Structure 1
Amino acid sequence: MIRAIIIDDEFNAVKNLKWEIESFCSDIEVCDTFTNPVEAISAINYLKPDCVFLDIEMPEMDGFQLLERLTFRDFDLIITSAYDNYAIKAFKEHAVDYLLKPIDSEDLLKAVDRVRENQKRNVLGNQLKNIIKSYVPEKKFSRLALPTLGKTIFVNFEDIIYCKSNGSYTEVHLNTNSMEMLSKKLKEVEAQTNDSFFRVHNSYLVNLHYVKEYVKNEGPYLVLTTGETIPISRAKKNELLQVLNS
C-alpha cells in the first residue's frame, strides 16, 4: 500500500482529490489531508509518506516554500495547480507529475502509475542494498572527524554531548566544556554518527547518553546532564519517547 498525503488550502479540492484516489486507486491510502501548510510540514516529517499531492497556490505559504522547510523529502511529489506556469519549477523539485485543476481521472492514474514504478524501483534498490550488506560487512566507526584549520581532530562519539546547526556549519559541543565548529551541515554529521544520537529538532542532534530529563511542558524539551536544555520538535516527540523508553 502506498501512503499519501494531500495538501490544498481549498477544502473542496482536498475532498474531490481524496474521492478520486479512493475511487480509482485502490493501492493508494490517503493517510492524512491538510488545508494548513504549516501543519502539513510537521505531519510529513513525522508520518514519512510515500507520496504527497501538493497544491502550489496557497495564501499562507506556497507549495515551494513548504518543500524548503521539510526535513523529510524521500517521497514522490505530485504537484496540483489551477495554473500551468509553475511546471518548470515543479520538475526542478523532482515532481513526478504536474496535475492541472480540475484534475482529470486519466491524468491522475498516469501520475499514480509513475509513483508505483518509483516505489518498485525503491524496493528493488533496498533489496539489492541488503544483499550487498550481507556479503560486505559495514564499516563501523566510533569517532567523528572534525576538519579544522590545517588539521583534522578525531573525537570519540561518547565525548560529544550534542551538535547544533549553524547555517552551513555545525557546532559540536563536547564534554570537555569546549565546542568545535565543523564546516558541514547537521544532516551530514547525523549520517556519520551511531545509534546513540537522535535528531530531536531541525537544529539539534543529541547524544542520548547525556539526557537527564524529558520535560513535556512548555515545549517539550530535554534537560541534559550538563544542565543545558534542548528543544524537541512536535514531529519528533513520539519517536523520541519510543527510543528513550526502549
Structure 2
Amino acid sequence: MIRAIIIDDEFNAVKNLKWEIESFCSDIEICDTFTNPLEAISGINYLKPDCVFLDIEMPEMDGFQLLERLTFRDFDLIITSAYDNYAIKAFKEHAVDYLLKPIDSEDLLKAVNRVRQNQEGNTLGNQLKNIIKSYIPEKKFARLAMPVLGKTIFVDFKDIIYCKSEGSYTEIHFNEDSMELLSKKLKEIEAQTDDSFFRVHNSYLVNLHYVKEYVKNDGPYLVLSNGVSIPVSRAKKNELLQILNS
C-alpha cells in the first residue's frame, strides 16, 4: 500500500479528494488529512508518508512555505490547486504532478500511477542495494590507518568529522579542530571507512554522527557540529535524506 496524506484548508476539498482516491485507487491508503498547515507539518514529519496531496493557497502559510518547514521530504508530491500559475514553482519542488481543481478522475489516476512507478523503483533499488551489500565483505576495522612522517597513525573513525579531496591528497578534519593531509585519494579513504561515513559530494566524505543541520536552500548543504558547511550533490541528496531520516 502507498500511504498518503491530504492537505487542504477546505474541508469539502479534502472530503472530495479522499472519496476520489478511495473509489479509484485501491492501493492508496489515506493515513491522515489536514486542513491546518501547522498541524500538517507535524503530521508529515511524524507519519512519514509515501505521497502528499498538497493545496497551495491556504491561510497562515501557503503550500510552498509548508514544504520549506518540513524535516521529512522523502515523499512523492502532488500539488492540487484551483489556479494554474503555480505550476513552474511546483515542479521546481519536484512535484510528480499538478492537479487542477475540480480534480478529474483520469488526471488523478495518471498522477497516482507516477507515484506507483516511483515507489516501485525505490523498492527495487533498495532490494538491489541489499543484494549487492550481501556480497561485499564488511570492513573489519573501526580505525583509519594514516601514514605520517615515516610512521602509521591509527585514528578512530569517531574522531573524524569529515574528509576533503585535494587532488591526489585528502584533508582529514578531526573533532578537536585539527587537520592532517594524507597522500591518498578520497576514494581510498572512503574504502576504509565504516557505515558512519557518507560521500555527500565528489570532494567530501562526512561522518554522519556530526551532522547538525540539512539545509536545502542554496545548495543543498550540511552544517556539521563544528560549524563547517559541506555541499551536497543533487545526485546524492535523496539517498542522504533516506539515511538521515531512517
Q: Aligned partners of 2:228 and 2:93: how far apart in 1?
A: 28
1:181 counterpart residue number: 227
In the TM superposition, residue 34 of structure 1 has moved relative to its aligned partner by: 0.2
- Quick check: 1:145 aligned with 2:191? no
In the TM superposition, residue 69 of structure 1 has moved relative to its aligned partner by: 1.0
163 and 134 in structure 1: CA distance in 2 versus 1, 3 angstrom threshold: closer
Q: Aligned partners of 1:127 and 1:163: how far apart in 2?
A: 27
1:69 counterpart residue number: 69
Matched-pair contact (CA < 8 Å) for 2:8–2:34: yes
2:94 counterpart residue number: 94
DSSP 3-state at the match of 1:54 = strand
Q: Aligned partners of 2:136 and 2:214: how far apart in 1?
A: 36
Supply the AA of the counterpart residue of 2:229.
Answer: S
Q: Aligned partners of 2:120 and 2:211: how far apart in 1?
A: 36
In the TM superposition, residue 170 of structure 1 has moved relative to its aligned partner by: 4.0
Q: Aligned partners of 2:214 and 2:106: how far apart in 1?
A: 46
137 and 163 in structure 1: CA distance in 2 versus 1, 3 angstrom threshold: same
Matched-pair contact (CA < 8 Å) for 1:54–1:63: yes
Aligned alpha-carbon RMSD (Å): 3.5
38 and 136 in structure 1: CA distance in 2 versus 1, 3 angstrom threshold: same
Supply the AA of the counterpart residue of 1:182.
Answer: V
- Quick check: 1:41 aligned with 2:41? yes
Q: Aligned partners of 1:26 and 1:106: how far apart in 2?
A: 15
2:114 counterpart residue number: 114
Question: Superposed, which structure 2 residues align to 1:9-24 within 5 Å?
Answer: 9-24=9-24
Write the deviation string for residues 57-106 of structure 1: whole angstroms up to 9, x where unpaired: 11111111111111111111100000001111111111111000000111
144 and 184 in structure 1: CA distance in 2 versus 1, 3 angstrom threshold: farther
In the TM superposition, residue 164 of structure 1 has moved relative to its aligned partner by: 4.7
Write the deviation string for residues 109-153 of structure 1: whole angstroms up to 9, x where unpaired: 1111111111111111011110111112355853253369xx643
Show structure 1 runs of 5+ residues with no match.
173-179, 200-238, 240-246
1:51 counterpart residue number: 51
- Quick check: 1:31 aligned with 2:39? no
In the TM superposition, residue 56 of structure 1 has moved relative to its aligned partner by: 0.6
If you compute each CA radius of gyration, which structure gives the higher value, 1 or 2? 2
Count residues in correspondence.
184
1:154 counterpart residue number: 174
1:209 counterpart residue number: none
- Quick check: 1:126 aligned with 2:141? no
Matched-pair contact (CA < 8 Å) for 1:169–1:181: no
Supply the AA of the counterpart residue of 1:153.
Answer: H
Identity of aligned residues (%): 74
Supply the AA of the counterpart residue of 2:174.
Answer: F
Q: Aligned partners of 2:120 and 2:38: how far apart in 1?
A: 31
In the TM superposition, residue 183 of structure 1 has moved relative to its aligned partner by: 2.7
